[in-house]
């Protein structure tokens, strides 16, 4: 007789097999995980591009130039053009730019009071402060605020590099203006101390206000500069990507919306 016939209750499983054991799931290889992440990222970018295209089409049809309010030359609308998650950051950067514009005006007024107070460098200070008012207000908007606005709107690398270069230059300029060396057009710390020391109280007060303005916008821009740099790294922007964008879109695209 066979063994099965001798023992009809014999199990067909081998003795070393546990019938209650489940097969151990295998981990997907690292390359498959990375490929899945890249695929997900491409889908997110494609969806973002479709949303931006829809927004741009809506703005082209319905939008009108609305900035600056007294002479509308460009369209500027954070709720319409910036993704919701980034609207708070861009709003605060715009507010810092407004603080800069106000500080430039106050700095010029302070330089007028320095001239009236009898400073021997007052004429040069006033002349330089007038130049700053017109040049810095325009170039700061076009060279660091508008690029980062477009950077968060379109999420393209070249805008970020524009911002890092000119925004970094602006941070150095802010330090220069906070110091307030006489004859440089800045009503900063040195000028403020001199006005207090010589009992020119009106000039001293305006110098104090200008110094506070330079400090507030300088520290604020430094804080967000670091935050934007971290976002830029997390988004995977590179100089090669920026060069590719410039070659494919051309420089003109970076001064237009859509």
The pLDDT value given to residue 228: 97
Rounded to whole angstroms, how far apart are CA atoms 56 and 208?
A: 44
The pLDDT value given to residue 25: 54
Helices 146-154 and 87-116 pack at an angle, to 10 degrees, of 180
pLDDT along the chain (258 residues), means of 10: 48 48 60 81 78 65 80 92 95 98 98 96 96 97 96 94 97 98 96 97 98 98 97 92 82 60
Instruction: Give the residue ranges of DSSP H helices in the chain.
Output: 3-6, 30-62, 78-81, 87-116, 122-140, 146-154, 157-179, 189-197, 201-234, 239-249
Rounded to whole angstroms, how far apart are CA atoms 99 and 215?
A: 10
Count of CB atoms situated within 10 Å of the CB of 258 = 15
Contact 206, 107 (CB under 8 A): no
pTM assigned to the model: 0.76
Smallest Cα–Cα separation from 86: which of 154, 164, 7, 188? 154
Indicate the burial class of 21 (C-beta count within 10 angstroms; 0-12, 13-18, 19 or more).
Answer: exposed
Structure tokens at 176: 């220069």
**Burial per residue of 75-99, b for 16 or more beta-carbon CB atoms within 10 angstroms, e otherwise:** bbebeebbeeebeebbeebeebbeb
Contact 87, 101 (CB under 8 A): no
The pLDDT value given to residue 5: 46
Rounded to whole angstroms, how far apart are CA atoms 97 and 72?
A: 18
Contact 184, 114 (CB under 8 A): no
The pLDDT value given to residue 3: 47
Rounded to whole angstroms, how far apart are CA atoms 21 and 69?
A: 74
Smallest Cα–Cα separation from 207: which of 185, 236, 232? 185
DSSP annotation of 21 reads P
Beta partners for 67?
A: 74
Structure tokens at 150: 């477009």
The CA-atom distances, in angstroms, between 235 and each of 41, 72, 156 are 10, 33, 10
Smallest Cα–Cα separation from 117: which of 185, 183, 211, 201? 201
């Amino acid at each position: 007789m066979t063994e099965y016939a001798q023992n009809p209750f014999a199990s067909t499983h081998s003795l070393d097999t546990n019938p209650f054991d489940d097969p151990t799931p295998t981990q997907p290889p690292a390359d498959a995980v990375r490929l899945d992440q890249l695929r997900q990222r491409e889908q997110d970018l494609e969806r973002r591009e479709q949303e931006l295209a829809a927004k741009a089409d809506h703005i082209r049809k319905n939008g009108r130039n609305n900035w600056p309010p007294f002479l509308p030359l460009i369209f500027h609308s954070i709720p319409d053009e910036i993704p919701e998650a980034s609207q708070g950051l861009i709003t605060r950067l715009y507010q810092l730019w407004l603080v800069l514009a106000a500080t430039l005006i106050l700095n010029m007024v302070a330089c007028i009071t320095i001239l009236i107070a009898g400073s021997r460098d007052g004429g040069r200070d006033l002349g330089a402060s007038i130049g700053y008012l017109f040049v810095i207000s325009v170039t700061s908007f076009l060279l660091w605020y508008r690029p980062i606005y477009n950077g968060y709107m379109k999420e393209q690398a070249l805008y970020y590099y524009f911002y890092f270069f000119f925004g970094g230059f602006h941070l150095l300029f802010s330090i220069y203006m906070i110091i307030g060396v006489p004859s440089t057009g800045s009503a900063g710390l040195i000028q403020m101390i001199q006005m207090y020391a010589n009992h020119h109280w009106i000039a001293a007060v305006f110098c104090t206000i200008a110094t506070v303005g330079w400090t507030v916008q300088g520290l604020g821009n430094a804080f967000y500069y670091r935050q934007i740099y971290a976002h830029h790294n997390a988004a995977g922007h590179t100089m090669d990507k920026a060069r590719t964008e410039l070659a494919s879109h051309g420089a003109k695209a970076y001064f237009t919306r859509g």
